[in-house]
Structure 1
Amino acid sequence: MKALIQRVSRASVEVEAQTVGAIEHGLLALVGVEKGDSEAHADKLLQKLLHYRVFSDAEGKMNLNVQQAGGGLLLVSQFTLAADTQKGLRPSFSSAAPPAEGERLFHYLVKQARQSDIPIATGEFGANMQVSLINDGPVTFLLET
């Protein structure tokens, strides 16, 4: 699994002009599921999402995780993260998990995340989503399991 995370001042997701998920200060995580991913990959990714230190401490160093910073987590499925872009000028999605498996693992990740003590919001799997954010920094990282 992969997640492109961005530290945000706020972020939201709309589907058909309706806000389906939003957070204030926290992390926006665009999540891609690849063939061969499992619940163990989702668990490992969630641990990284909750504990990756990308928020500034009192000295301005990235020493705090989203929980310590009092932030939320917005999880948005994005199968295009599984694209192979090494050859040609058109992405190949042969390494992406089949839609049903991607949806199952994304929902598993969300379910596990909701057991944490931070606000969790999501997009809508498979929908045409409009994602809005204010990237704080900017700070962006690609996490892989």
Structure 2
Amino acid sequence: MRALIQRVTQASVTVDGTTIGEIGPGLLILICAMQGDTEAQADKLAAKIAKLRIFKDDDGRMNRSVKDIDGRALVVSQFTLAADTSRGNRPGFSTAAAPEDGNRLYEYFATQMAAQGIPVAKGQFGADMKVALLNDGPVTIWMDTDS
């Protein structure tokens, strides 16, 4: 699985003009299931992200996790994280999981984040979403369970 994690002071996702998920301080997690991904990889990624110390402590050092700050997570599916740009100018997405598997793993990942004790808001799989965020730092981290 691939994830792009952004530390935010706020974030929201809108579908057809209606806000369907929003958070205050926490993490915006853009997530993509790749071909062959399993629940075990989603478990590993959720546990790692929940413990990732990218929030400032009292000394201004990145030493706190989203759990430590009582933050939230906005989990948004984004198959374009599977983009292959090695040939030509049009990215290919053939390494992304099939939609049924992608949706199942997206929902499972969001459930696993919540199981880590983090309140979770979500986007809508396969929808044309508008994501708004106020990036804090900015802090943006790429994670891939294959690396």
TM-score class, shorter-chain normalisation, is over 0.9
Structure 1 position 117, deviation (Å) = 2.1
Structure 1 residue matching 2:7: 3-state secondary structure: strand
C-alpha distance after superposition, 1:62-108 (max 9, x if no partner):
11110001210000000000111122111011111000110011111
Is contact 2:47-2:116 (8 Å) kept? no
Structure 1 residue matching 2:143: 3-state secondary structure: strand
Structure 1 position 118, deviation (Å) = 2.2
Is contact 2:123-2:129 (8 Å) kept? yes
2:62 aligns with: 62
Letter in 2 for 1:77: S
Structure 1 residue matching 2:115: 3-state secondary structure: coil
Is contact 1:23-1:119 (8 Å) kept? no
Seq. identity, %: 52
CA distance in 1, matches of 2:114, 2:27: 14
CA distance in 1, matches of 2:63, 2:86: 34
Structure 1 position 49, deviation (Å) = 1.4
C-alpha distance after superposition, 1:8-42 (max 9, x if no partner):
00000000111110000000000011001000110
Structure 2 residue matching 1:47: 3-state secondary structure: helix
| Unaligned 5+ runs, structure 1 | none
Give runs of aligned pairs for residues 88-107 of structure 1, distance below 5 A.
88-107=88-107
2:36 aligns with: 36
CA distance in 2, matches of 1:110, 1:130: 19
Is contact 1:56-1:62 (8 Å) kept? yes
Letter in 2 for 1:15: V
TM-score with structure 2 setting the length: 0.96
Residue 131 (structure 1) aligned with residue 131 (structure 2) = yes
Once superposed, what is the RMSD of the aligned Cα atoms? 0.8
1:115 aligns with: 115
CA distance in 1, matches of 2:114, 2:65: 17
CA distance in 2, matches of 1:61, 1:114: 26
Structure 2 residue matching 1:14: 3-state secondary structure: strand
TM-score with structure 1 setting the length: 0.97
